[in-house]
Structure 1
Amino acid sequence: MVEWVVIAFDKADRSAYRSEHLAGIPPQVESGKLVCAGAIYNEPKAPGEPRTFAGSHLQVVADTKEEAIEIVKSDIFAKEGVWDLDNLIVYQFGCAIRQPVNKLK
């Protein structure tokens, strides 16, 4: 198994699918397919303005790049066109250190 880092940029609003997206994460973690995931953000347009979603970062465990992409495609954000699947960034990843953080809400 290889670990893959995936960047999926948003091309549509994610708010309608966010709860279903979050509900789909624990089974992927429990299966060992997802070891790290979270939102990436755009810089605020001006000081004090809220940040907006740019997309997502995922670290996926899979035998091949194609399998990693299929895992990403199984997410509701992929199925509903939130993520820009035509422009995924996918690289093999060799983790040197990982600190536990669990902010899943």
Structure 2
Amino acid sequence: MVEWCAIVFDKADRSKARPAHLAGIPPLVEQGKLVCAGAIYNEPKEKGGERTFAGSHLQIVADTKKEALDIIKSDTFAKEGIWDLDNIILYQFGCAVRIPKS
């Protein structure tokens, strides 16, 4: 198995689809397919301003790039047109260190 680092940018508002997206994460974690994931944010427009979603970062475990892409494309955000699937950044990743979130 290979670990893949993916950045997928948003092209639409994610708020309505977010509950379904979040519900889809635990099964992938339990299957060992997703080892890290979370939102990425745009810089606030002003100091102290609110962050806005830029997209998502995923660490996917898959044998092939196609399998990693299939995992991304099966997500609610992909199916609902929130993620920009034409501009996915996806590279093999060699993790040197990973510590639990505190």
Aligning the two structures, in what range does the TM-score lie when normalised by the shorter sequence?
over 0.9
Q: TM-score, normalised by structure 1?
A: 0.95
Residue identity opposite 1:87 in structure 2? N
Cross-structure match for 1:20 = 20
For the residue of structure 1 that corresponds to 2:69, the secondary structure is helix
CA separation in 2, counterparts of 1:36 and 1:74?
17
Does residue 55 of structure 1 match 2:55?
Answer: yes
- Code of the residue aligned with 1:66 in structure 2: it is K
Deviation for aligned residue 1:65: 0.5
TM-score w.r.t. the length of structure 2 is 0.98
Question: Are 1:35 and 2:47 matched, yes or no?
Answer: no
Q: Note the residue ranges of structure 1 that are not aligned, 5 or more in a row.
A: none
Match of 1:77 in 2: 77
The corresponding residue for 1:101 is 101
Q: Which sections of structure 2, spanning at least 5 residues, go unmatched?
A: none
Moved over 3 A (4+): none
| Count of matched residue positions in the alignment of Structure 1 and Structure 2 | 102
Q: Residue 15 of structure 1: SS of its match in structure 2?
A: coil
In the alignment, the residues of structure 2 paired with residue 23 and residue 82 of structure 1 have an alpha-carbon distance, to the nearest angstrom, of 16
Distance 1:61 1:71 in 2: 10
State the percentage of identical aligned residues.
Answer: 75
